[in-house]
Amino acid sequence: MTAQPLLAVDAPSLYFRAFHGIPEKAAQTSVGEPVNAIRGFLDMIAQLVRTRRPDRLVCALDASWRPAWRVELVPSYKKHRVAHGDVEVVPPALEKQVPILLEVLAAVGIPAFGVEGYEADDVLGTLAATQPAPVEVVSGDRDLFQLVDDDRGTRLLYCGRGVAKLEDADNALVETKYGVPAKWYADFAAMRGDASDGLPGVPGVGEKTAARLIMRYGGVEEILAALDDPDAGFAPGVRTKLDASRDYLAAALPVCKVALDVKLPDFDPAIPRSPKDPEALIALAERWNLANSAKRLVDALAG
C-alpha cells in the first residue's frame, strides 16, 4: 500500500486564487459581506483531501511576505507589490476574510502558521525537508518547483490553472516544462528573472538560454566559476551579459532559493477526522454563511 502523503498547502496562494476566481456577489453573507475567498479555499481543501487522500495536512502562511533579508540582497524584490511601508497590496474585501478563514481552520483543527522573517514558501520548504515522506506541496507559485524531489518523495501539486486542473509535478514534468531538473529551478529562476517577484534576471538571457547554460555548466555558482575559464566555451555575447550580472546573480540565487531550515512551531499534522471545536465551527458557519463549504470540508476530512 502506498504511504499517505502530507498535504502542505500554500494558503496565501490558494485564498488569493479563490478570491479572484469567485465573484464577490456569488458568495456573501445575508447582509452582503463577501466570503468568496473563504468558501473557495474551504472547497479547494475539501477537493484536495478527497482526491489525494492525505493522512496529514498543514497550511503555511506568510508571517513576512517580503522578508528584510531578501530585500537587502535584491532591493527590487516584490517592491511593486508594496502598498505602503512594508504592507502588501491586498484587496480590502480579501483582507477582511483572512482572519475569519484562520478561525475556521482553527475550529476544524487544521494547523495554519507562518514564521516571522520568512514567507509561506520557506515554511513549505522546511516541511518538505523535515517531515516524513511523501510530501505533496500545493501551490500556484512556480518557485516551488524547486522542492520537487523524486528520491525523497516530494511533489508539487501546481494549481496555476486551479485545483480542478492540478499539475502533479515530478522531476520529469519540471524538466519537460522548463528544460532543467527541479534541483536547479531556483538557479534557472534567478537567471531568467520573474517580474511577479521583482527579479530582473540577466538582461538578454531568456528561458531557453538559461536552461541551455544550466544543462551545460550546472547552477549559477558553477556558471559564474566557468566565466573565469577562457576555454569554457561561452558565446562572446552571453559571456558579456553574464559577466555584467555577476553581482546580481550572486545576490539573487539565495533570494530565489526556498529556506529548508526554518524553526517551525509545534504542530500536529494529523488529519482531524472530526472538528476540534464543533461549536465554534457551527457559530462561524452560521455567522458567515459558510455551512455548505464547512460541511464539505468536514465530510472530506472524516473520510
What are the pLDDT tens digits along the chain (303 aa)?
568 999 999 999 999 999 999 999 999 999 999 999 999 999 999 999 999 999 999 999 999 999 999 999 999 999 999 987 778 899 999 999 999 999 999 999 999 999 999 999 999 999 999 999 999 999 999 999 999 999 999 999 999 888 888 999 999 999 999 999 999 999 999 999 999 999 999 999 999 999 999 999 999 999 999 998 989 999 889 999 999 999 999 999 999 999 999 999 999 999 999 999 999 999 999 999 999 999 999 999 998
**Of residues 272, 282, 298, the one with CA closest to residue 103:** 282
Cell numbers at 12, concatenated: 496565501
Residue bearing cell 469567485: 22
pTM: 0.96
Q: Are strands 112-113 and 154-158 parallel, antiparallel or unpaired?
A: unpaired
Give yes or no for a contact between 114 and 267, defined as CB atoms under 8 angstroms apart: no
| Beta-carbon count within 10 A of 284 CB | 21
Instruction: Please list, in sequence order, all residues whose beta carbon lies within 8 angstroms of the beta carbon of residue 290, skipping any fewer than 6 positions away.
Output: 35, 38, 39, 42, 104, 284
- Tell me how far CA of residue 298 lies from CA of 56, 70, 121, 217, in angstroms: 14, 38, 26, 50
Q: State residue 10's pLDDT score.
A: 98
